[in-house]
Amino acid sequence: MDRPAPPLTDRTAAYWRSGADGVLRIARCSACGWRLHPPRPVCPRCRGREIAFQPVSGRGKVHSFAINRYQWTPAITPPYIMAEVELAEQPGLLILSNITHCALDEVRVDMAVTVWFERTGEAWIPLFRPEARR
C-alpha cells in the first residue's frame, strides 16, 4: 500500500519518526507521567508543559474498529480495517490505525495486537497486527 505521508510538525515529528528503529514512542508528561496521544503542548491532567516522547511496548488491544469499503484516497485500496487501539501502558490511551495481517472477518474487539511500521516519506506509520499466540 502506498500511503500518503503525514505532515511532520514540531509537535508530531518525533511520533512519526519513532518507528525508524522499530520502537513506538508516545508523548508523556514529565511532571505526572500521563501519556497523551495525540501529542499536545500541555498535559490535560496536571497542566505540565514538559512533554517528551518515550518508548512504549507497542502492545495493545482493539478498542473499536470499522471495515472501510470506500476509496477515500487513490493511494489506499479498500477494503481495510480502521481501528482504535488501546495501548497496554495506560487505560484509554488510544491510537487510530489500521489492523493488518488479519482477514476482515477475524478482527474482534479486545483482540491482542502489536505494532509494526511502514515507511512513507520521512515518516514511519505505526500499524498493528494480531499478536502472535504464545
Strand duo 123-130 + 112-120: pairing: antiparallel
Domain hosting 43: range is 13-130
> Do residues 116 and 129 lie in contact, with contact meaning Cβ atoms separated by under 8 Å?
yes
Residue 3 belongs to some domain of the structure: no
Residue 63 belongs to some domain of the structure: yes
The model's pTM: 0.92
| Residue in 103, 84, 104 with CA at minimum distance from that of residue 93 | 84
Residue 119 belongs to some domain of the structure: yes
Distance of alpha carbon 56 from alpha carbon 76, whole angstroms: 28
Residue 5 belongs to some domain of the structure: no
- The continuous run of DSSP H or E covering 16 comes out as helix 13-17
> Hey, what's the cell of 32?
505526572
Residue 6 belongs to some domain of the structure: no
Per-residue pLDDT of the chain (134 residues; tens, 9 = 90+): 578 889 999 989 999 999 999 999 999 999 999 999 999 999 999 999 999 999 999 999 999 999 999 998 888 889 999 999 999 999 999 999 999 999 999 999 999 999 999 999 999 999 999 998 54
Domain count within the chain = 1
Residue 100 belongs to some domain of the structure: yes
Residue 8 belongs to some domain of the structure: no
